[in-house]
A and B are shown apart, each in its own frame.
Chain A
């Protein structure tokens, strides 16, 4: 056999009928969005990420929905009333609501869906966002039956919800993904597979047309949506693109129309993009911070934590490293939340920091024990850690070792409190300081510092029970003051900023907003 005879044989083995598989052209969607990584699920009870949230809120609609500026507006509920004590909400659904298969959508669908998200067998990572409802937490932990949960179906169109505490943001909260309804018989028939396009039944402005793994999710306008005229675009493709440079190339090459996430814009070119008409920055409800392990020396001493916090020059950090005009954080809650004014926090004061360290027994950092700074592997985390390590060395004379772990190992270290200082970030789920402050209540899973402060816990508990909204926020502010100026189990570093990229001469209905919420149903072509 000569090579000339052998080569075709070899190639025939490797070049089979694959040319016909997987690669085919399709008509371009009205709008193509780079949405981030591959969605982990489209089940509202299962998801926890923002990119999945964007898709599910296009496919399913809660009692309340968000408009283009993320303001809560009536969704499937046309109106609601609240009892004088602020604990009982009665929602009235729009008449003649229908699922995409034509079945009527009733108040029972909401009750079923919320109980499903709470049920321990569902394994929802976000079930605790339903704990505002009376009996919800006890039902989740198996202490009470479903009938004890404060969700009551009055009739097909009326749902009454009894809350543990007056929760003024509760109607807005029902726009959150965990509160979205699912079609009971579809879920029961197909189990985990109900989110496949062929099985999908929804009530949102869009239907699930197609979902190609790691490629795209295609959405098509739902003709049975309650107000179809509100939805301007017939088809939207959300691309699964992980890499910022790839997303930006797709956008620059015209293969994508909108970049919905700052993570999809290469950080190196952010300064060049500023000033371009298609670059739309905005604040974000998210904070980057460091947490201390406070149950062991040296960070069980509040003076040392304070010294580490005020030794930092945060402006230098955002100017040199993040470079996205991020606001420096002195409090955990970002500014801009409805009616809430976070405390001023602590400003940089290296002299006082050195004094505090000396008081704690370590003048000029002498004999300070070896401590480490834990972060999960990423270029940004590393750059920040190196800069902060250098600042502590310069200002306090202490040597902090850097400890880099990959994601799952890092999370385990956090859970087991196996760190001295660890990088962290938190993205608010709803427009209320409780979404941040609740993390540091004693024993909360997200506390991850070992810190416990009875005054903080009781202030937050009083705030939650407080019917007067202004007084409620005052109590929250007092609690946050303890957190970021006195006890300091954390050092807030900066608040994130969001960025959208789209051509405003072509697209409208997209506005930067604190919740970084950009409902697909609000996007339309710009009128020239």
Chain B
């Protein structure tokens, strides 16, 4: 186990460095300057700012300078939010996205797995089709429709939760629901297809012949194997859901990290974009690691030492 972790962490380092280097170069090569605005800036001031923020010299020099700062834990200064460091921006906004994302992730699994399992158990029956349809529905409603409709329903027609904002638990309800709902459908579909495959296996037939009840059969025997595709999917899902969604954050005024990636790219705020990408990359690597570990725990045929 420890050697598995050690190997994976070691192999993650070059991946993260490559991602950061590519991201940095792509933003720097994109047309436009981080300091330009509708009001033209004189070339001398622009050059001074480029020097001040370490964007002078050749691209490799800039990248090397950035990488050296990274090694000291310094993600650089934001070029758009002058006076703010990227560490500070991520430090303040990431916990909010993590909080919202972890609730949405839990909801996606807690609703999606039973929905998929139930739908598989009722395969061929009208109730199974309805459950399957429900899962498809959650999957197909786009967030840009789901979010405003949810606000209209639960904030203005039925005054259950505030329409937006940050600061109280009630303000988390609607964004968490909207963030999780599309993933509920994905989790349900993965669980259902996995279960349908496993339910036809010999060991399930044997268990059924021995008189194991249907819920026990599904939840104690079949689900363990059936859930493997979902576990593999859950790694990238966790990274994606925890790093926030631009649409959800803007619609519900959540001060999370999701908006910074988009605004960073638009403004060519290279350090902010690279910092956010680094966070996403590390989360992705971490949750893929967890997913692989869980897969090995669930499937005895897979060995962590190999």
Known contacts A213-B92, A252-B156, A255-B162; decide if A22 and B105 are in contact (CB<8 Å).
no
Question: A412, B33: Cβ atoms under 8 Å?
Answer: yes
Q: Do residues B163 and A252 form an inter-chain contact, with CB atoms below 8 A? A: yes
Report the minimum CB–CB distance from A94 to chain B (whole Å): 30
For B166, the chain A residues whose CB sits under 8 A away are 22-23, 215
With contacts A3-B223, A15-B102 taken as known, whether A240 is within 8 angstroms of B255 at the C-beta atoms is yes
Provide the bound-state CA to CA distance between A123 and B259, in Å: 26
Q: B44, A120: Cβ atoms under 8 Å? A: yes
Residue contact B164 to A246, C-beta cutoff 8 Å: yes
Interface residues on B, range: 35 or more
> Which residues of chain B are near A446, meaning CB under 8 Å?
39-40
Interface size on A, residues (CB 8 A): 72
Judge whether A26 is part of the interface by a CB distance below 8 angstroms: yes
- In the complex, whether A528 has a CB less than 8 A from a CB of chain B is no
> In chain B between 210 and 233, which residues have their CB closer than 8 angstroms to a CB of chain A?
219-220, 223-224, 227
Bound together, the chains give a CA A426 to CA B223 distance in angstroms of 62
By the criterion CB–CB under 8 Å, are A250 and B253 in contact? yes
Whether A1 contacts B298 by the Cβ 8 Å rule is yes
Residues in chain B near residue A243, CB distance under 8 A: 250-251, 253
Known A48-B39, A249-B155; contact A255-B81, beta-carbon cutoff 8 A: no
Q: Is B45 an interface residue (CB 8 A)?
A: yes
A125 touches B39 (CB 8 A): yes
Stretch at the interface among A6-14, A314-322, A392-400: A6-14
Question: Contact between B33 and A408 (Cβ–Cβ < 8 Å)?
Answer: yes
User: Cα distance A19–B252 when bound, in Å?
Assistant: 18
- B168:A214 contact, CB within 8 angstroms: no
- Cβ-closest chain A residue relative to B49: A123
Instruction: Tell me if B65 is interfacial: C-beta within 8 Å of chain A.
Output: no
Whether the Cβ atoms of B98 and A40 lie closer than 8 Å is no
| Contact A40-B38, Cβ < 8 Å, known A2-B224, A240-B255 | no
A159 to B48, CA, bound (A): 30
List A8-65 residues whose CB lies under 8 Å from chain B.
Answer: 10-11, 13-16, 18-19, 21-26, 38, 40-41, 43, 46, 48
Q: In the complex, how many angstroms separate the beta carbon of B238 from the nearest chain A beta carbon? A: 6
Max chain A CB contacts within 10 Å: which of B102, B106, B167? B167
Report Cα–Cα, A177/B92, bound state, in Å. 28
Q: Are A425 and B163 in contact (CB under 8 A)?
A: no
Residue B60 interfacial (CB < 8 Å): no
- Of chain A, the residue at the smallest CB distance from B88 is A213
Those of B79-113 within 8 Å (CB) of chain A: 80-84, 88-89, 92-93, 95-96, 98-99, 102-103, 105-106, 109
**A43 contacts B106, C-beta separation under 8 Å:** no
Name B27-62 residues within 8 Å CB distance of A. 30-42, 44-45, 48-49, 52
Cα(A245)–Cα(B294), bound, Å: 42
B253/A253 in contact, CB under 8 A = no
The docked-state distance in angstroms from the alpha carbon of A120 to that of B46 is 10
A127 contacts chain B at the CB level, 8 A cutoff? yes
> Which residues of A are found within 8 Å of B44, using beta-carbon distances?
120, 141-142
Q: Is A242 an interface residue (CB 8 A)?
A: yes
Our pick among A10, A41, A408 for the contact of B81 (Cβ within 8 Å) is A41
Interface hub of A15, A38, A239 (most chain B Cβ within 10 A): A38
- Given A212-B92, A411-B36, A38 and B163 contact (CB-CB distance below 8 Å): no
A454 proximal to B (CB < 8 A): no
Closest to A196 in B: B83
Cβ–Cβ contact A11 & B168, under 8 A? no
Q: Which residues of A contact B256 (CB under 8 A)?
A: 214
A215 and B267 in contact, given A23-B99, A141-B44 (Cβ under 8 angstroms): no
Q: How far is the CA of A127 from the CA of B98 in the complex (A)?
A: 41
Point out which of B102, B105, B169, B234 has the most chain A C-beta atoms below 10 A from its C-beta: B102
Residues of A near B172 (CB, < 8 A) are 23
In this assembly, does B22 line the interface, its C-beta being within 8 Å of a C-beta of chain A? no
Contact among A15, A26, A127, A408 with B45 in the assembled complex (CB-CB below 8 Å): A127
Q: Enumerate 21 A-B pairs (CB-CB under 8 Å) in ascending A order.
A: A4-B220, A10-B290, A11-B106, A21-B98, A23-B172, A25-B168, A41-B82, A212-B255, A215-B255, A239-B253, A241-B164, A241-B253, A245-B251, A246-B164, A249-B155, A250-B253, A253-B156, A255-B165, A408-B36, A445-B40, A445-B42
Counting from the closest, the 4 A-B pairs by CB-CB distance are A408-B32, A445-B40, A214-B255, A215-B255
- List 16 additional A-B contacts (Cβ < 8 Å) besides A125-B41, A242-B259: A10-B234, A14-B102, A18-B98, A23-B96, A23-B99, A40-B81, A41-B82, A46-B83, A48-B37, A123-B48, A213-B89, A242-B250, A245-B251, A246-B163, A246-B250, A253-B163
